[in-house]
Protein backbone atom coordinates (compact mmCIF):
# COMPACT_ATOMS: atom_id res chain seq x y z
CA UNK A 1 0.00 0.00 0.00
CA UNK A 2 1.78 3.03 -1.30
CA UNK A 3 -0.11 5.52 0.84
CA UNK A 4 0.91 3.75 4.01
CA UNK A 5 4.47 3.47 2.79
CA UNK A 6 4.45 7.17 2.30
CA UNK A 7 2.91 7.79 5.72
CA UNK A 8 5.42 5.43 7.27
CA UNK A 9 8.25 7.39 5.80
CA UNK A 10 6.72 10.70 6.65
CA UNK A 11 6.30 9.73 10.28
CA UNK A 12 9.65 7.97 10.00
CA UNK A 13 8.20 5.06 11.91
CA UNK A 14 9.91 2.10 10.30
CA UNK A 15 12.97 4.07 9.42
CA UNK A 16 15.91 2.06 10.66
CA UNK A 17 17.88 5.28 11.12
CA UNK A 18 15.67 6.20 14.02
CA UNK A 19 17.93 6.46 16.99
CA UNK A 20 15.76 4.03 18.92
CA UNK A 21 16.30 1.38 16.26
CA UNK A 22 20.01 1.98 16.41
CA UNK A 23 19.79 1.58 20.19
CA UNK A 24 17.85 -1.67 19.88
CA UNK A 25 20.28 -3.16 17.41
CA UNK A 26 23.30 -2.21 19.50
CA UNK A 27 21.67 -3.64 22.61
CA UNK A 28 20.81 -6.87 20.82
CA UNK A 29 24.44 -7.44 19.93
CA UNK A 30 25.92 -6.45 23.23
CA UNK A 31 23.45 -8.56 25.20
CA UNK A 32 24.20 -11.75 23.29
CA UNK A 33 27.70 -11.36 24.52
CA UNK A 34 26.87 -10.21 28.06
CA UNK A 35 24.42 -13.02 28.59
CA UNK A 36 26.89 -15.66 27.55
CA UNK A 37 29.45 -14.29 29.98
CA UNK A 38 26.96 -14.15 32.84
CA UNK A 39 26.43 -17.87 32.40
CA UNK A 40 29.46 -19.84 31.24
CA UNK A 41 27.32 -22.84 32.22
CA UNK A 42 25.38 -22.31 29.02
CA UNK A 43 28.54 -22.68 26.92
CA UNK A 44 29.47 -25.77 28.96
CA UNK A 45 26.05 -27.30 28.43
CA UNK A 46 26.24 -26.51 24.72
CA UNK A 47 29.66 -28.19 24.53
CA UNK A 48 28.33 -31.35 26.10
CA UNK A 49 25.38 -31.47 23.74
CA UNK A 50 27.67 -30.86 20.75
CA UNK A 51 29.95 -33.70 21.82
CA UNK A 52 27.02 -36.05 22.18
CA UNK A 53 25.58 -35.27 18.76
CA UNK A 54 28.84 -35.19 16.83
CA UNK A 55 30.01 -38.42 18.44
CA UNK A 56 27.23 -40.15 16.53
CA UNK A 57 29.13 -39.37 13.35
CA UNK A 58 32.79 -39.04 14.17
CA UNK A 59 35.37 -39.50 16.83
CA UNK A 60 36.40 -36.15 18.22
CA UNK A 61 39.00 -34.92 20.62
CA UNK A 62 36.70 -33.84 23.42
CA UNK A 63 39.39 -32.19 25.47
CA UNK A 64 40.55 -29.86 22.71
CA UNK A 65 37.07 -28.85 21.72
CA UNK A 66 36.58 -25.11 21.80
CA UNK A 67 33.36 -23.17 21.63
CA UNK A 68 33.25 -19.38 21.67
CA UNK A 69 30.97 -16.51 20.89
CA UNK A 70 32.81 -14.03 18.73
CA UNK A 71 31.81 -10.43 18.23
CA UNK A 72 32.09 -9.38 14.63
CA UNK A 73 31.23 -6.05 13.09
CA UNK A 74 27.49 -6.33 13.08
CA UNK A 75 26.87 -9.84 14.28
CA UNK A 76 27.78 -12.38 16.89
CA UNK A 77 29.04 -15.76 15.68
CA UNK A 78 29.22 -19.07 17.44
CA UNK A 79 32.62 -20.48 16.55
CA UNK A 80 33.41 -24.09 17.34
CA UNK A 81 36.77 -25.74 16.80
CA UNK A 82 36.33 -29.49 17.00
CA UNK A 83 39.37 -31.65 16.22
CA UNK A 84 38.27 -34.82 14.43
CA UNK A 85 40.17 -38.01 15.23
CA UNK A 86 38.35 -40.27 12.83
CA UNK A 87 35.12 -40.89 11.01
CA UNK A 88 32.76 -43.60 12.04
CA UNK A 89 31.97 -46.09 9.35
CA UNK A 90 28.63 -47.24 10.46
CA UNK A 91 26.03 -46.24 12.94
CA UNK A 92 25.05 -43.26 10.91
CA UNK A 93 21.61 -42.47 12.21
CA UNK A 94 19.06 -41.42 9.71
CA UNK B 1 4.76 -12.71 57.42
CA UNK B 2 5.59 -9.69 55.34
CA UNK B 3 7.21 -9.51 51.93
CA UNK B 4 10.86 -8.54 51.49
CA UNK B 5 11.40 -6.76 48.18
CA UNK B 6 14.64 -5.34 46.84
CA UNK B 7 14.66 -2.38 44.42
CA UNK B 8 17.73 -2.62 42.23
CA UNK B 9 19.13 -1.61 38.84
CA UNK B 10 22.84 -2.05 38.29
CA UNK B 11 23.31 1.46 36.99
CA UNK B 12 23.20 4.41 39.37
CA UNK B 13 20.88 7.36 39.05
CA UNK B 14 18.01 5.57 37.31
CA UNK B 15 15.52 6.04 40.16
CA UNK B 16 15.92 3.23 42.74
CA UNK B 17 15.75 5.56 45.73
CA UNK B 18 12.92 7.62 44.25
CA UNK B 19 11.04 4.40 43.56
CA UNK B 20 11.64 2.96 47.03
CA UNK B 21 10.39 6.17 48.67
CA UNK B 22 7.30 6.40 46.50
CA UNK B 23 6.27 2.76 46.60
CA UNK B 24 6.83 2.63 50.36
CA UNK B 25 4.82 5.78 50.97
CA UNK B 26 2.15 4.54 48.55
CA UNK B 27 1.83 1.23 50.40
CA UNK B 28 1.55 3.07 53.73
CA UNK B 29 -1.21 5.24 52.21
CA UNK B 30 -3.11 2.05 51.47
CA UNK B 31 -2.81 1.11 55.15
CA UNK B 32 0.11 -1.35 55.11
CA UNK B 33 2.87 -1.43 57.70
CA UNK B 34 6.05 -0.62 55.81
CA UNK B 35 9.76 -0.34 56.53
CA UNK B 36 12.25 1.10 54.05
CA UNK B 37 15.84 -0.07 54.41
CA UNK B 38 18.58 2.05 52.87
CA UNK B 39 21.51 -0.27 52.09
CA UNK B 40 23.52 2.31 50.17
CA UNK B 41 26.15 2.56 52.87
CA UNK B 42 28.36 5.63 52.51
CA UNK B 43 25.90 7.28 50.12
CA UNK B 44 22.83 7.66 52.32
CA UNK B 45 19.98 9.20 50.29
CA UNK B 46 16.63 7.68 51.11
CA UNK B 47 16.39 9.80 54.27
CA UNK B 48 16.52 13.09 52.34
CA UNK B 49 14.16 11.90 49.62
CA UNK B 50 11.71 10.99 52.42
CA UNK B 51 12.37 14.23 54.30
CA UNK B 52 13.48 12.35 57.44
CA UNK B 53 17.16 13.31 57.52
CA UNK B 54 16.96 15.43 60.67
CA UNK B 55 15.80 12.64 62.92
CA UNK B 56 18.49 10.01 62.39
CA UNK B 57 20.18 8.69 65.52
CA UNK B 58 21.16 5.13 64.71
CA UNK B 59 21.76 3.46 61.36
CA UNK B 60 21.72 0.03 59.74
CA UNK B 61 25.26 -0.84 60.88
CA UNK B 62 24.35 -0.10 64.50
CA UNK B 63 21.56 -2.66 64.09
CA UNK B 64 23.37 -5.40 62.14
CA UNK B 65 26.37 -5.20 64.46
CA UNK B 66 24.03 -5.82 67.38
CA UNK B 67 24.58 -2.51 69.14
CA UNK B 68 20.94 -1.47 69.15
CA UNK B 69 17.66 -3.20 68.33
CA UNK B 70 16.07 -2.32 65.02
CA UNK B 71 13.08 -0.75 66.76
CA UNK B 72 15.40 1.78 68.34
CA UNK B 73 16.95 2.71 64.99
CA UNK B 74 13.74 3.01 62.95
CA UNK B 75 12.53 6.51 62.14
CA UNK B 76 8.77 6.82 62.07
CA UNK B 77 7.32 8.99 59.31
CA UNK B 78 5.02 11.47 61.07
CA UNK B 79 2.86 11.85 57.97
CA UNK B 80 1.28 8.61 59.16
CA UNK B 81 0.26 9.14 62.78
CA UNK B 82 0.06 5.47 63.67
CA UNK B 83 3.72 4.93 62.77
CA UNK B 84 3.10 2.52 59.94
CA UNK B 85 5.83 3.96 57.69
CA UNK B 86 9.43 3.54 58.90
CA UNK B 87 12.94 4.10 57.65
CA UNK B 88 16.11 2.31 58.60
CA UNK B 89 18.83 4.69 57.37
CA UNK B 90 22.14 3.69 55.82
CA UNK B 91 25.36 4.37 57.68
CA UNK B 92 27.12 7.36 56.22
CA UNK B 93 30.63 7.10 57.59
CA UNK B 94 31.33 3.40 57.08
CA UNK B 95 31.83 1.32 53.94
CA UNK B 96 29.95 -1.52 52.34
CA UNK B 97 31.93 -4.20 54.13
CA UNK B 98 30.47 -3.03 57.47
CA UNK B 99 27.51 -5.33 56.76
CA UNK B 100 27.56 -8.92 55.51
CA UNK B 101 25.00 -11.13 53.84
CA UNK B 102 24.18 -13.24 56.88
CA UNK B 103 23.48 -10.09 58.89
CA UNK B 104 21.16 -8.79 56.17
CA UNK B 105 19.29 -12.09 56.07
CA UNK B 106 18.79 -11.96 59.81
CA UNK B 107 17.65 -8.32 59.68
CA UNK B 108 15.11 -9.05 56.94
CA UNK B 109 13.82 -12.10 58.80
CA UNK B 110 13.27 -9.97 61.90
CA UNK B 111 11.61 -7.08 60.03
CA UNK B 112 9.19 -9.20 58.08
CA UNK B 113 7.71 -10.50 61.29
CA UNK B 114 6.52 -7.02 62.13
CA UNK B 115 5.93 -5.36 58.75
CA UNK B 116 3.76 -6.14 55.72
CA UNK B 117 6.41 -4.81 53.35
CA UNK B 118 10.16 -4.57 53.78
CA UNK B 119 11.53 -2.52 50.87
CA UNK B 120 15.28 -2.57 50.33
CA UNK B 121 16.90 0.31 48.45
CA UNK B 122 19.93 -1.21 46.73
CA UNK B 123 23.15 0.64 45.91
CA UNK B 124 24.41 0.81 42.32
CA UNK B 125 26.85 -1.84 41.16
CA UNK B 126 27.11 -5.61 41.43
CA UNK B 127 29.57 -5.93 44.30
CA UNK B 128 29.21 -6.42 48.03
CA UNK B 129 26.51 -3.75 48.46
CA UNK B 130 24.34 -5.44 45.84
CA UNK B 131 24.91 -8.88 47.34
CA UNK B 132 23.96 -7.57 50.78
CA UNK B 133 20.83 -5.88 49.47
CA UNK B 134 19.49 -9.02 47.79
CA UNK B 135 20.58 -11.45 50.53
CA UNK B 136 17.37 -11.30 52.55
CA UNK B 137 14.96 -10.51 49.70
CA UNK B 138 12.43 -12.87 48.20
CA UNK B 139 11.21 -10.55 45.45
CA UNK B 140 12.93 -8.03 43.25
CA UNK B 141 12.02 -4.95 41.27
CA UNK B 142 14.45 -3.85 38.57
CA UNK B 143 14.40 -0.16 37.66
CA UNK B 144 15.65 1.01 34.30
CA UNK B 145 15.43 4.07 32.10
CA UNK B 146 14.92 3.81 28.32
CA UNK B 147 18.63 4.10 27.59
CA UNK B 148 21.12 1.61 26.22
CA UNK B 149 23.45 1.67 29.22
CA UNK B 150 20.67 1.34 31.82
CA UNK B 151 19.00 -1.50 29.92
CA UNK B 152 22.27 -3.33 29.48
CA UNK B 153 22.91 -3.10 33.22
CA UNK B 154 19.33 -4.14 33.99
CA UNK B 155 19.84 -7.23 31.86
CA UNK B 156 22.94 -8.14 33.76
CA UNK B 157 21.21 -7.58 37.10
CA UNK B 158 18.31 -9.79 36.03
CA UNK B 159 20.83 -12.57 35.30
CA UNK B 160 22.51 -12.09 38.68
CA UNK B 161 19.19 -11.99 40.53
CA UNK B 162 18.14 -15.26 38.94
CA UNK B 163 21.52 -16.79 39.70
CA UNK B 164 20.96 -15.67 43.31
CA UNK B 165 17.58 -17.44 43.44
CA UNK B 166 15.41 -14.37 42.91
CA UNK B 167 13.27 -15.57 40.05
CA UNK B 168 10.83 -13.46 38.04
CA UNK B 169 11.93 -9.95 38.96
CA UNK B 170 9.57 -7.27 37.71
CA UNK B 171 10.49 -4.16 35.75
CA UNK B 172 9.82 -0.48 36.33
CA UNK B 173 10.59 1.74 33.38
CA UNK B 174 11.40 5.19 34.73
CA UNK B 175 11.74 8.58 33.04
CA UNK B 176 9.89 7.60 29.90
CA UNK B 177 9.30 10.50 27.54
CA UNK B 178 6.27 9.67 25.40
CA UNK B 179 6.97 12.44 22.89
CA UNK B 180 10.43 11.04 22.18
CA UNK B 181 9.02 7.53 21.88
CA UNK B 182 6.55 8.83 19.32
CA UNK B 183 9.37 10.41 17.32
CA UNK B 184 11.24 7.13 17.30
CA UNK B 185 14.04 8.56 19.38
CA UNK B 186 13.38 6.60 22.54
CA UNK B 187 12.74 2.90 23.02
CA UNK B 188 9.11 2.10 23.75
CA UNK B 189 7.74 -0.07 26.55
CA UNK B 190 7.32 -2.94 24.08
CA UNK B 191 10.90 -2.55 22.83
CA UNK B 192 12.24 -2.88 26.37
CA UNK B 193 10.00 -5.79 27.25
CA UNK B 194 11.14 -7.52 24.05
CA UNK B 195 14.76 -7.10 25.02
CA UNK B 196 14.61 -7.85 28.75
CA UNK B 197 11.84 -10.46 28.61
CA UNK B 198 10.42 -9.73 32.06
CA UNK B 199 7.05 -8.47 33.29
CA UNK B 200 6.52 -4.74 33.66
CA UNK B 201 4.97 -3.62 36.94
CA UNK B 202 4.86 0.00 35.93
CA UNK B 203 6.04 2.90 33.82
CA UNK B 204 6.89 6.27 35.34
CA UNK B 205 7.11 9.29 33.05
CA UNK B 206 9.87 11.87 33.18
CA UNK B 207 8.28 14.46 35.43
CA UNK B 208 9.39 17.73 37.02
CA UNK B 209 7.23 17.00 40.06
CA UNK B 210 9.79 14.33 41.05
CA UNK B 211 12.45 17.02 41.34
CA UNK B 212 10.08 19.34 43.20
CA UNK B 213 8.96 16.63 45.61
CA UNK B 214 12.57 15.62 46.26
CA UNK B 215 13.39 19.27 46.98
CA UNK B 216 10.69 19.26 49.63
CA UNK B 217 11.25 15.78 50.98
CA UNK B 218 7.69 14.73 50.18
CA UNK B 219 7.31 11.73 47.89
CA UNK B 220 5.37 12.56 44.71
CA UNK B 221 3.01 9.66 45.36
CA UNK B 222 1.31 11.91 47.95
CA UNK B 223 0.69 14.64 45.35
CA UNK B 224 -2.62 14.07 43.59
CA UNK B 225 -1.59 16.32 40.72
CA UNK B 226 1.69 14.57 39.93
CA UNK B 227 1.69 12.25 36.93
CA UNK B 228 4.71 10.38 38.22
CA UNK B 229 2.86 10.19 41.54
CA UNK B 230 -0.11 8.65 39.73
CA UNK B 231 2.20 6.12 38.09
CA UNK B 232 3.59 5.19 41.52
CA UNK B 233 0.08 4.93 42.98
CA UNK B 234 -0.73 2.47 40.20
CA UNK B 235 2.44 0.46 40.83
CA UNK B 236 1.62 0.34 44.53
CA UNK B 237 -1.81 -1.08 43.83
CA UNK B 238 -0.39 -3.63 41.39
CA UNK B 239 2.02 -4.76 44.10
CA UNK B 240 -0.93 -5.50 46.34
CA UNK B 241 -2.47 -7.66 43.63
CA UNK B 242 -4.86 -5.20 41.97
CA UNK B 243 -5.18 -5.32 38.21
CA UNK B 244 -4.53 -1.72 37.15
CA UNK B 245 -4.06 -0.94 33.45
CA UNK B 246 -1.10 1.17 32.33
CA UNK B 247 -1.81 4.89 32.37
CA UNK B 248 -2.71 6.57 29.14
CA UNK B 249 0.50 8.53 28.94
CA UNK B 250 2.36 5.32 29.56
CA UNK B 251 0.87 3.74 26.48
CA UNK B 252 1.57 6.96 24.54
CA UNK B 253 -0.48 5.91 21.56
CA UNK B 254 -0.20 8.59 18.91
CA UNK B 255 -2.63 9.37 16.14
CA UNK B 256 -0.51 7.45 13.71
CA UNK B 257 -0.65 4.28 15.82
CA UNK B 258 -4.41 4.50 15.70
CA UNK B 259 -4.33 4.92 11.92
CA UNK B 260 -2.07 1.89 11.67
CA UNK B 261 -4.41 -0.16 13.82
CA UNK B 262 -7.42 0.84 11.76
CA UNK B 263 -5.61 -0.26 8.61
CA UNK B 264 -4.57 -3.48 10.29
CA UNK B 265 -0.89 -2.61 10.18
CA UNK B 266 -0.30 -3.00 13.91
CA UNK B 267 2.20 -5.57 15.12
N1 LIG C 1 10.57 10.08 36.76
C2 LIG C 1 11.51 11.01 37.02
N3 LIG C 1 11.40 12.26 36.49
C4 LIG C 1 12.35 13.20 36.74
N5 LIG C 1 13.43 13.00 37.50
C6 LIG C 1 13.61 11.79 38.07
C7 LIG C 1 12.66 10.73 37.85
N8 LIG C 1 13.10 9.65 38.55
C9 LIG C 1 14.25 10.01 39.15
N10 LIG C 1 14.57 11.28 38.88
C11 LIG C 1 15.76 12.02 39.36
O12 LIG C 1 16.91 11.28 39.00
C13 LIG C 1 17.90 11.36 40.00
C14 LIG C 1 18.36 10.00 40.43
O15 LIG C 1 17.31 9.31 41.09
P16 LIG C 1 17.57 8.31 42.30
O17 LIG C 1 16.24 7.80 42.74
O18 LIG C 1 18.43 8.94 43.33
O19 LIG C 1 18.38 7.16 41.54
P20 LIG C 1 19.23 5.93 42.16
O21 LIG C 1 18.73 5.68 43.54
O22 LIG C 1 18.91 4.81 41.21
O23 LIG C 1 20.65 6.34 42.09
C24 LIG C 1 17.30 12.16 41.13
O25 LIG C 1 17.77 13.48 41.05
C26 LIG C 1 15.81 12.12 40.86
O27 LIG C 1 15.14 13.23 41.34
MG1 LIG D 1 19.93 5.54 45.37
Q: Is B163 within 8 Å of A38 when comparing Cβ atoms?
A: yes
From B7, B14, B15, B229, mutation site for ligand 1 pocket: most ligand atoms within 8 A of C-beta: B15
Judge whether A19 lies within some domain. no
Judge whether A20 lies within some domain. no
Q: Is A34 within 8 Å of B152 when comparing Cβ atoms?
A: yes
CB of B84 sitting under 6 A from ligand 1 = no
Per-domain boundaries in chain B = 3-263
Judge whether A10 lies within some domain. no
Q: How many other C-beta atoms are found inside a 10 Å radius of the C-beta of residue B124?
A: 18
Judge whether A11 lies within some domain. no
Q: Is B195 within 8 Å of A28 when comparing Cβ atoms?
A: yes
Judge whether A69 lies within some domain. yes
Q: What domain range includes position A77?
A: 41-89
Judge whether A59 lies within some domain. yes
How many angstroms separate the CA atoms of B97 and A71, rounded? Answer: 36
Segment B188-211, tens digit of pLDDT: 999 999 999 999 999 999 999 999
Q: How many other C-beta atoms are found inside a 10 Å radius of the C-beta of residue B186?
A: 23
Pair A85, A59: CB distance under 8 Å: yes
Segment A19-49, tens digit of pLDDT: 999 999 999 988 987 887 666 777 888 889 9
How many domains would you assign to chain A? 1
Q: What part of A 30-49 touches B (C-beta under 8 Å)?
A: 30-31, 34-35, 38-39
* pLDDT mean over B140-148: 98
**Ligand 1 mean position, distance from CA B70 (Å):** 28
The CATH classification number of B3-263 equals 3.40.50.300
Q: What's the pLDDT score for residue B161?
A: 96
Amino acid sequence: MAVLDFLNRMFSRENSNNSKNIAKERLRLVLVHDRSSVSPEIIEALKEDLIRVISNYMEIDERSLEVNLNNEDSSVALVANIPVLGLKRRNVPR
Amino acid sequence: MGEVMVITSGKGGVGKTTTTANIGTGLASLGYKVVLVDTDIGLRNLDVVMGLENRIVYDIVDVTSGQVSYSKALIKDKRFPDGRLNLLPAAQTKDKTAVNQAQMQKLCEDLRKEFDFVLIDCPAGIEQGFKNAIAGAEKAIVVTTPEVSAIRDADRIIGLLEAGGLRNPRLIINRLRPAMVKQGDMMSIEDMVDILAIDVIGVVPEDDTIVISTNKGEPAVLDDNSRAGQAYRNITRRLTGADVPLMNLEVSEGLFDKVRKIFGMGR
